[in-house]
Amino acid sequence: MPQINTSFNELTTSDQDMLTEIAVLYYQEGSTQDEISKKFAVSRVKVGRLLRKAREEGIVEINVRYHPVYSAQLERRLMDKFKLKRALIALDHSDEEEQRKQVATLVSGFLANNLTENSTVAVGKGRNVAAVADHAGIVIKRNARFVCALGGTHRSGDSTNADHICRRLAKKFGGTSETLYAPAYVDNPKIRETFFEHSVVADTLNQAKIAEFALVGIGDMNESSHMVQLGWFTPKEFTEARLEQGVVGDIGGFDFFKLNGENANSTLSSRVIGLGTEDLKRIPNVIAIATEDRKVLAMLGALRTGSIDVLATSASCAMALLSMED
């Protein structure tokens, strides 16, 4: 029999096979520990230790899958607690990219069921929003219009630009895309105001403001966030905004808020060319997406702004939100 205090890689092939066989018998074939102990002529206690060893070494992975009824109850609790129209809850997945895809699947389905001919969708930036455009689901083509709610960049994050996402959404759902011909972030408020005064920029933003839907991500103030990686803000600026101004996150990349949902009036916001939280409040169906566990605090602040109508996230994030709010 394998020694339980030995690393799996250090065991002989025959001992590895035996450990795997015990795990298969118990977890897949439903054999009891008593049956296994008799089969291998070892004590029941030893079987329990070997099964624990199988879990520790990764031979066995235990995943809790929520019953559909439980997921529906979780969605209802979120809707009641935060006055949402809908909550889209995906099963938890240990891989961040896979988790993002699962949430994107739900959002893609929601849009497929709710977009109508000539619908207008204001689109933000980010990996979670981009995943909706890239999800290869079957949808009914609509003559929809996807309008950038934020400027863009020519740096390495092009695939997560609002403009690139709009183009892919238009191709997927049918219809057209509208580019916001401005950078997402500028160096100071004066430059920002100059862009806002430009008729082309103003016209695009006005189209976004009267959209029936908005598709946006929720960002946190982590120094390694996507916005910092792209060079739009420095780690120091994020740290100071968090510690000195109480900023916990942003919606869509274009407005920053505190934990209580109040606008942070941060120097960060004064450099963004895009919609604001007040603009989102006037859009009937704002779909906010966040899949990362580290963003729960930012999600809570975002929900408290009162600008979100549909939240798309994971089951663990949903439970954490309910716990924190309670």
- Give pLDDT tens digits for 248-281: 888 987 788 899 998 877 767 788 899 989 999 9
Separation CA 169–CA 163 (nearest Å): 10
The encoded tokens of residue 245 equal: 């101004």
Question: Which residues are within 8 A (CB) of 118 and not within 5 positions of it... i.e. 6 or more apart?
Answer: 143, 144, 145
Whether 184 and 198 have beta carbons less than 8 Å apart is answered as no
Find residue 284's DSSP bridge partners.
Answer: none
Separation CA 144–CA 146 (nearest Å): 7
The CATH number of the domain covering residues in 8-56:
1.10.10
Mean pLDDT computed over 224-251: 76
Cβ atoms within 10 Å of 22's Cβ, excluding its own: 27
Separation CA 301–CA 277 (nearest Å): 12
Specify the CATH class of 68-325 in words.
alpha beta
Enumerate the domain spans of the chain: 8-56, 68-325
Separation CA 167–CA 129 (nearest Å): 13
Separation CA 256–CA 286 (nearest Å): 16
pLDDT grade for 3, boundaries at 50, 70 and 90? very low
In terms of pLDDT, which residue wins out, 249 or 292?
292
pLDDT grade for 238, boundaries at 50, 70 and 90? confident
- pTM given for the model: 0.76
- Give the distance from CA 78 to its chain's centroid: 16
Separation CA 322–CA 294 (nearest Å): 15
Mean pLDDT computed over 55-72: 65
Q: How many residues does the chain have?
A: 326
Separation CA 292–CA 64 (nearest Å): 18
Mean pLDDT computed over 17-33: 81
Separation CA 258–CA 250 (nearest Å): 9
Question: Which residues are within 8 A (CB) of 239 and not within 5 positions of it... i.e. 6 or more apart?
Answer: 221, 223
